[in-house]
Amino acid sequence: MTMPLNETHDAKMLSWVRSANDGKTDFPVQNLPYGVFRRAGSNEQLRLGIAIGDQILDLNKAHAQGVFAHLRNAQFDKAILGDSLNGLMDLGPTTWSTLRLTLSRALREDAAQQAALQNCLLEQSAAEYSMPARIGDYTDFYTSIHHATAVGKLFRPDNPLLPNYKWVPIGYHGRSSSIGVSGQQFHRPVGQTMPPAATEPVFGPAKRMDYEMEIGIFIGQGNALGDRISIQEAEQHVFGLCLLNDWSARDMQAWEYQPLGPFLAKNFASTISPWVVTLEALAPYRKAWTRDATDPQPLAYLESTDLRDSGAFDIELEVLLQTEKMRTDNVPPQRLSLSNFRHSYWTVSQLVTHHTVNGCNLRAGDFLGSGTQSGPLPEEAGSLLELTEGGKKPINLANGEQRVFIADGDSIIMRGWAQKNGMPRIGFGEVLGTLLPARAM
């Protein structure tokens, strides 16, 4: 399951793209995440790119320069020249790894391809982004026991954590059509809510708007209907990870979630980062995965030695808020929380394996959400619902404003990165989304 380190992970390696070497960028030559872009404001065809420093390497143009000559065949050419990552995702881990090595050698310092690739770059600030892949199906999980317990106390004080939580990765099928890329703006949703002490529901705009800090998981090669993906093979079917903000209307959720779970409270918008970081790039930042000895241990199909040794990912997850007043006053966004993906109760490989254990078929570009990633400390909460204890404790912002839930005009910014001593920072960029007022009814 675990990918070995190789020359693409060399911490001393530098790039001829100088902005990749400043020690602060999310995109050093050891990262090389994939995205879909075009020149901002243009009608150009969308195309695949690699983030390197503050630049994008246009893979269409790099292909024309012959950089991928040793990889060329009809299927590869179609994938690399496409307008989404689906074709590349479907090529599988051997091709992904070979392509990563090719790009690493072409972009590292003193590469012979520098002259040919110099004109294949576009500044990220001059680009606009599209969804990295066409998402066929979207499943959102619930993998943080800290989030599940904190939210459970609000909704079910006498029974916060349901008995199945520690045995089975809980998930629900979400709405892929409303997932958008960073920069997404959406209107406050309307629907039914049950006000406190009321005997009948009311219809109107949601009042308790929230975010959820999550990791998104893009599936690579899928499986045939009826086949299972074993825990040992699960990560060979994962193309990469991104950041995900799963927006939530908490008052609508409280009214509708029993007995079948989230529906209109979740399906109006979700926002992801434009860059997909491969599991190979994250290989140096893996951690041992543990389960408290007093908790039930995973059933055999969700258990393996590799899982225990290195099944978790050490990814810092930051949430920031910028109000409309902050933007007007040119005030930078304020951090709300900082958590880490290593706290997840269930791992990436367990989610993939459990999703297919009944024979469910996954396809290239399918998307899994990790669920809100909250840590054990209060300041590591991945949602306002937890940070404000269900709206009871407002957050005082540095500019004098207060927030209990998200107000119209607010933007939520999420960032994620992996970093450790002796290794470069591998980042995801950021995912930004803005809440607009409800449309007139």
List, by residue number, the catalytic residues: 147
**In 99-183, at which residue ranges do the beta strands (DSSP E only) sit?**
121-123, 127-130, 138-141, 171-173, 179-181
Backbone φ/ψ region at 204: left (φ over 0), alpha (ψ -120 to 50), beta = left
User: Which has the closest alpha carbon to 282: 409, 423, 127?
Assistant: 423
- Smallest CA-to-CA distance from 418 within 285, 251, 265, 253 is with 285
Q: To 5 degrees, how large is the angle CA 9–CA 143–CA 237?
A: 45
3-state helix/strand/coil string of 230-261: CCCCHHHHEEEEEEEECCEEHHHHHHHCCCCC
What is the distance, to the nearest Å, from the Cα of residue 399 to the centroid of all Cα atoms in its chain?
A: 30
Instruction: Tell me how far the alpha carbon of residue 432 is from its chain's centroid.
Output: 12
Sequence-distant (6+) residues with CB within 8 A of 404 are 208, 384, 388, 391, 394, 395
